[in-house]
A and B are shown apart, each in its own frame.
Chain A
Amino acid sequence: MPLWSFAQPFRRSVAGVEARLSAGEVQLVVHLCRDLADRLAEVDDRAPVGAGPLGRLFPDGYGDPERSDELRSLIQDDLRDGKIAAARSVVDSLSDLPPSRRVTLSDEQVEHWLTSLNDLRLVIGTQLGVTEDGEDDHADDDEDEVPATARDVYQVLSWLQSALIDVLLD
């Protein structure tokens, strides 16, 4: 089962945006979003998430640690809950698909897709050492240490995100 379909995964329809992913892409996105929602559920209401990959989703709001903590105590629970809701919404949108695997996403679901695709890219990209502008810091030195599958997954997520944005900006 190919991971990449090379077809257009999204297109504009009268009712919204139609998603038509390959079976492999559906499986991948559902798995990753379920996993992300589970990991996010462990995030505390106000304690800093830390320097790990998940921490990238909860950055400091200020340069000053004290003010950052103060702001975190006000917004982190909503931020976390919003990201969990987005990931679950993506999973829901891909359940009970017809054999064609075509599904029309509402505007709200499209926002959830954008949120989760980007969150997943950030988490996996951080694990791979990809920097903000998409450059891979470690492309040369430790290629052998990074599982090829993680790189493939990152590429698929980037491709889906870019395809969805193209449809929205078209």
Chain B
Amino acid sequence: MTYVTYVLQKLFGYSKEKATKLMLDVHQKGKAVVSSGSREQMELDVARLHAYGLWATLQQD
């Protein structure tokens, strides 16, 4: 699971602590909000996460 931590740090510039917490949320709760913003920006983030093989979906609040 350190792969997920690495990717979150790399893509979003998160600290090791924050990235690890998000990774654990995904692991334990099944999902985590890793990024939020405009639809265009989030579609870009989803594409970047998919490029790393992470199963990201976009949810509108």
Whole-angstrom distance between the Cβ of A68 and the nearest chain B Cβ: 8
Residue in contact with B56 in the complex, picked from A61, A83, A114, CB distance below 8 Å: A61
Contact at A71–B51, with CB atoms within 8 Å? no
- Stretch in A3-11, A17-25, A73-81, A143-151 with 4+ CB within 8 Å of B: A73-81
Q: Tally of A-B residue pairs with Cβ under 8 A?
A: 64
| B32 interfacial by beta-carbon distance below 8 Å | no
Q: In residues 13-65 of chain A, which contact B (Cβ within 8 Å)?
A: 56-63
Does A78 lie within 8 Å of B6, measured CB to CB?
no
Given that A75-B43, A118-B3 are known contacts, is A61 also in contact with B27, CB under 8 Å in the complex?
no
Residues of A within 8 A of B43 (CB): 61, 71, 74-75
CB distance from A76 to the nearest CB of B (A): 9
Interface of A is mostly: helix
Q: Does B12 contact A (CB under 8 A)?
A: no
B58 in contact with A75 (CB, 8 Å): no
Q: Which residues of B contact A60 (CB under 8 A)?
A: 57
User: Are A58 and B58 in contact, CB atoms less than 8 angstroms apart?
Assistant: no
Complex: A168 Cα to B2 Cα, angstroms: 11
The interface residues of chain B lying within 8 Å CB-to-CB of A83 are: 51
